[in-house]
Amino acid sequence: MSILVDEKTRVVVQGITGSEGLFHTRQMVEYGTNVVAGVTPGKGGQKVDGIPIFNTVSDAVKEAGANASAIFVPPAFAADAVMEAADSGISVIVCLTEGIPTLDMVVVRDYLKERGSKLIGPNTPGIISPGKCKIGVMAGYIHKAGTIGIISRSGTLTYEVVDQLTKRGIGQSTCVGIGGDQIIGLDYVDLLSLFENDPGTEGMIMIGEIGGTAEEEAAQFIEENVDKPVVAFIAGLTAPPGRRMGHAGAIISGGKGTAKEKMEALEKAGVRVVRNPALVGEEMGIVLGKRKK
Amino acid sequence: MKIHEYQAKEILKSYGVPVPKGKMAETPEEARKIADEIGEKLIVVKAQIHAGGRGKGGGVKVVTSPAEAEKAANEILGMTLITHQTGPAGRVVRKVLVEEGMEIQKEFYLGVVIDRSKARPVVMASREGGVEIEKVAQESPEKIVKEWIDPSSGLRPFQANKIGYELRLDPGEVGKMKNVLFGLYKAFHEKDCLLAEINPLVLTVAGDFVALDAKMNFDDNGLFRHKEIGALRDLNEEAPLEIEASQYNLNYIKLYGNVGCVVNGAGLAMATMDIIKVAGAEPANFLDVGGGATVEMVKNGFKILISDPDVKVVFINIFGGILRCDTLAKGVLEAVSEVKVDVPVVVRLEGTNVEEGRRILNSSGLNFTVASGMKEGAEKVVEALKTKG
């Protein structure tokens, strides 16, 4: 099974005629994702690869029954695109864009509160339920359908972990990239809750990094609400303080947000914290093996 | 993006925040002239670097004449100022702020920062001014007053009132502090800051509020809509290789080890640094060529790495998702053809078009060690360091 996206998901691509949007739409379609529409204001009525393009998300919902959105829109306009999707009743919004101003995201989060949409990202590779639906830019072929839920702030580090799992025959129910920014949509706590309640998920992997307190909040949530096994890797034990390590959210500020603190908080909550990034898949294998006994 | 104190004060002044009379000087003579113009009996000469703790490090001097200001500036300009925030190497001081000294009655802390977990800005204020707010937060959090900003209404006057009375100001003072607070908040909001802080905000003997120090950190993601802020960048505060990398839109941070890293993706780049450490070596840098990197970016990243004399071995760790492995391989070969590479290179490729990428590298005739996983890659790096001697 899976969470948030599956074979019934109907995707509208906002920014479908841009070079990134078009390239990845074709990749998603090739994977088997049901892309039912695209939106590029001004190009409504046209088609690309047989996919109808609309001027607004609201039209895409009305005419094509879209219920999820992939946003490939530049930073200056991406926050508005998220709000448009929410306003149009899209249930799952995946915003791939890196570089959205933080204060724009403050407004987006507030806007989303009143509406039922779930936001994944921004600055994310997306979400994939292997074999069913991929909304994003990840290489589909490294994934395998299975029972492990993955929640990650990273892109390629997630692929690394997925690859380790798949090569061991351990499949994934859903992999969610929550993104590398300071202010994001769904966080670890939201997804741990969904995975805990998903009968098709038997364990979770958290991939975190320096900056913020999301992993610590997750640790508290796990202690009180999660029985399924959780394995975690936190990147940035060697990161210097005060520097932004690529991701807008990866910064140790005023001594807070270190990898060490996060690892300690998670271990205290019973999470199996792995210190070597090459051994995450192996650790999950051990954990699952123990449970079968 | 960081700016200097004198620049932050200019911005806040334009938003109605009172700041001490003063100007930035780059030579002792300029310092004397400015002190003369200010004409007050107390003058402060402050080193301008993108780090705190300048006073303790000897970068702040209080003087009583323009001649003394010139002498103080002469001592501070050109000094290597070491503070707990600069790192042991310190920072060379090239600018000083010469301003009037204030007669301080009380020091406060006032700041606006993003609260990530609540996804909104928060105003923090405290009677513990002039000390590091993180220390106060750790030792006596009850001494910090907080008001979160509702995005749909912004900072409300009643919130500023609340802060004023919780700081135990009397009614006249509350009104003056509110002006400062609204100026600070507006600057934060309009300029896309991540942090805007006045520490200390002093209440003078005469009963006025003045920003004795000011710090503003800007959201890099917001710079595209604030060209005037981008223009405030001081390249002297950045490492040369980092400046070069930023010109190529690469995320590069110089560290202190000898294993150069080229990785695609920030999380994987941090994990690569971590695994090098686990294997017993030290990373020389953080370098993320990004998911959307072109051959050009890969090439430039590699060249920057190679031009760092500290690098004794290069570890290329690429998981091709958006970035195709054949693209990477071509970039590396182009880099190598333009630059003399005399250090061992360990390559680990995985992902889209991996076989083609490996084929391109193997048929290049160059001395690359190919690893099949991150663990093996890190181990081969350590081996290469040992054999190099």
- Interface contact A254-B133, CB threshold 8 A: yes
Burial grade of B14 (CB within 10 A; 0-12, 13-18, 19 or more):
exposed
pLDDT grade, residue A236 (50/70/90)?
Answer: very high
Say which residues have a Cβ less than 8 Å from residue B163's Cβ, sequence separation at least 6: B123, B125, B145, B147, B177, B181
**What is the reported pLDDT for A90?**
98
Percent of chain A with pLDDT over 90: 94
Contact A160 B291 (CB under 8 A): no
Give the pLDDT of residue B295. 67
Is the pLDDT confidence value at A184 over 70? yes
Burial of A200 (0-12, 13-18, 19+ CB in 10 A): middle
Q: At what angle do helices A214-225 and A188-196 cross, to 10 degrees?
A: 30
Same domain (yes/no): A205, A72 = no
For chain B, the average pLDDT equals: 92
Active-site position among B109, B185, B248, B252: B109
- Which is more confident, A190 or B316? A190
Can you read off the two tokens belonging to residue B248? 């190529």
User: Tokens standing for B281?
Assistant: 């070596």
Listed in sequence order, the residues at least 6 apart from A6 whose beta carbon sits closer than 8 Å to its beta carbon are A129, A132, A133
For the stretch B208-246, pLDDT in tens is: 999 999 999 999 999 999 999 999 999 999 988 999 998
What pLDDT is attached to residue B294?
A: 64
As a whole number of angstroms, the longest Cα–Cα distance in chain B is 79
Domain-ending residue, one of A69, A86, A120 = A120
**Are A104 and A151 in a shared domain?**
no
Q: Is it the case that residue B366 has pLDDT exceeding 90?
A: no
B 141-180 residues with CB below 8 A of A? 150-152
Chain B residues whose beta carbon lies within 8 Å of the beta carbon of residue A137: 291, 321-322
In a domain, A3, yes or no: no
Q: Tell me whether residue A130 is in a domain.
A: no
Same domain for A89 and A144, yes or no, is no
* A187 band by pLDDT with thresholds 50, 70 and 90: very high
Is residue B355 pLDDT above 70, yes or no?
yes
Instruction: Tell me the residue range of the domain where A58 lies.
Output: 11-120
Whether B92 contacts chain A with CB within 8 A: no
Chain A residues with CB-CB distance to B89 below 8 A: none
Query: When comparing pLDDT for B327 and B188, which is higher?
Result: B188
Is A131 within a domain?
Answer: no
Choose from B112, B322, B354, B379 for mutation: most chain A CBs within 10 A: B322
Query: Hey, are the CB atoms on B267 and A101 less than 8 Å from each other?
Result: no
- Report the pLDDT value the prediction gives residue B322, as an integer from 0 to 100: 63
Residues A144 and A101 in one domain: no
Q: Which of A99, A236, A277 is facing B221, going by the closest CB pair?
A: A99
Q: Give one DSSP letter per residue of B30-63, joined into a string.
A: HHHHHHHHH--S-EEEEE--SSS-TTTTT-EEEE
- The answer to whether the beta carbons of residues B360 and B382 sit under 8 Å apart is no
Query: What's the CATH code of the domain at A233?
Result: 3.40.50.261
Any CB–CB contact under 8 A between A163 and chain B? yes
User: Rounded to an integer, what distance in angstroms lies between the CA atom of residue B310 and that of residue B241?
Assistant: 12
Higher-confidence position of A10 and B304: A10
For chain B, positions 335-374, list CB contacts with chain A under 8 A: 350-352, 373-374
At residue A293, the pLDDT reads 60
Same domain, A195 and A234: yes
Query: CB-CB: which of B119, B291, B375 is closest to A183?
Result: B119
A163, containing H or E segment: helix A156-167
Residue A260 sits in the same domain as residue A173? yes
Q: Are A245 and B269 in contact (CB under 8 A)?
A: yes
Domain co-membership, A260 together with A170: yes
- Which residues in chain A have Cβ-Cβ distances shorter than 8 Å to B276? 238
Among B83, B144, B252, B319, the strongest candidate for a mutation testing the A interface, having the largest count of A CBs within 10 A, is B319
Question: Are A97 and A149 members of one domain?
Answer: no
Q: What is the dihedral of CA A44, A72, A174, A206, to 10 degrees?
A: -160
DSSP character at residue A255? T
A38 domain residue, yes or no:
yes
Give domain status of residue A234, yes or no.
yes
Whether A259 is in a domain gets the answer: yes
Whether A142 has its CB under 8 Å from any CB of chain B: the answer is: yes
Does B109 qualify as catalytic in the annotation?
yes
Decide if A155 and B265 are in contact by the 8 Å CB cutoff.
yes
Structure letter (DSSP) for residue B382: H
* Distances from the Cα of B276 to the Cα of B258, B271, B286, B385, angstroms: 10, 9, 12, 12
Chain B residues with CB under 8 Å of A247 CB are 266-267
CA-CA distance, B363 to B368, in Å (whole number)?
10
Instruction: Report whether pLDDT(B293) > 60.
Output: no
Q: Mutation test of the interface with chain A: which of B112, B221, B288, choosing the one with the most A Cβ atoms within 10 A?
A: B221
Across the range A241-262, mean pLDDT stands at 91
Q: What is the percent of chain B where pLDDT is above 90?
A: 71
Nearest CB among B119, B288, B319 relative to A246 is that of B288
Q: Are residues A34 and A155 in the same domain?
A: no
**Considering the domain boundaries, does residue A126 fall inside one?**
no
Please write the tens of the pLDDT for every residue from B108-152.
999 999 999 999 999 999 999 998 888 898 899 999 999 999 999
Q: Looking at the partner chain, which of A139, A158, A278 has a beta carbon nearest the beta carbon of B275?
A: A278
Q: Is the pLDDT of residue A57 over 70?
A: yes
CA distance B375 to A158: 16
At residue B289, the pLDDT reads 85
Interface of B with A in 269-298 (CB under 8 A): 269-278, 283, 286, 288, 291-292
Label residue B367 by pLDDT band (50, 70, 90).
Answer: confident
- Kindly report the CATH number assigned to the domain that includes residue A18: 3.40.50.720
Backbone angles phi, psi at B61, to 5 degrees: -130, 135
| Domains assigned to chain B | 1-20+103-237 (3.30.470.20), 22-101 (3.30.1490.20), 239-388 (3.40.50.261)
Angle, CA of B175, B178 and B179, to the nearest 5° = 95
| A52 close to A80: Cβ distance less than 8 angstroms | no
Residue A213 DSSP class: S
Name which of A240, A231, A173, A178 is nearest A210 in CA terms.
A240
Do A274 and A151 lie in a common domain?
yes
pLDDT at B217: 97
> Looking at beta carbons, which pairs linking A126-129 to residues 24 or more positions away fall under 8 Å?
A126/A70, A126/A94, A126/A96, A126/A177, A127/A4, A127/A5, A127/A92, A127/A94, A127/A174, A127/A175, A127/A176, A127/A177, A128/A5, A128/A172, A128/A174, A128/A175, A129/A2, A129/A3, A129/A4, A129/A5, A129/A6, A129/A173, A129/A174
Residues of A designated catalytic: 247
Residue A4 lies in a domain: no
Contact A254 B134 (CB under 8 A): yes
Counting residues of chain B whose pLDDT is more than 70, the rounded percentage is 97
Q: Name the nearest CA neighbour of B301 among B337, B266, B343, B332.
A: B332
Does A128 contact B at CB distance below 8 Å? no
Is A60 exposed, middle or buried, given 0-12, 13-18 or 19+ CB atoms closer than 10 A? buried
How far A270 CA lies from chain B's nearest CA (Å)?
22
Same domain, A24 and A145: no
Q: What is the band of B274 on the pLDDT scale with cuts at 50, 70, 90? A: very high
pLDDT digits (tens, 9 = 90+) for B50-70: 999 999 999 999 999 999 999
pLDDT greater at residue B327 or residue B190 = B190
Closest alpha carbon within chain B to A103: B192
What residue type is assigned to position B342 of the chain? D
Q: How many domains does chain A have?
A: 2
Shortest Cα–Cα distance, A24 to chain B (Å):
9
Neighbours of B316 (CB within 10 A): 30
Distance (Å, whole) CA A177 – CA A175: 7
Rounded distance between C-alpha atoms, residue A259 and residue B277, angstroms? 14
Residues pairing with B147 in the sheet: B123
Indicate whether A81 and A163 sit together in one domain. no
Contacts B272 to A, Cβ<8 Å: 277
Using the predicted structure, report yes or no on whether residue B320 has a pLDDT greater than 80.
no
Q: Where is the domain boundary, A120, A147, A168? A: A120
- Residue A158 to residue B267, Cβ atoms within 8 A: yes
The rounded distance, in Å, linking the Cα atoms of B8 and B319 is 41
Are the Cβ atoms of A239 and B273 closer than 8 angstroms? Answer: yes
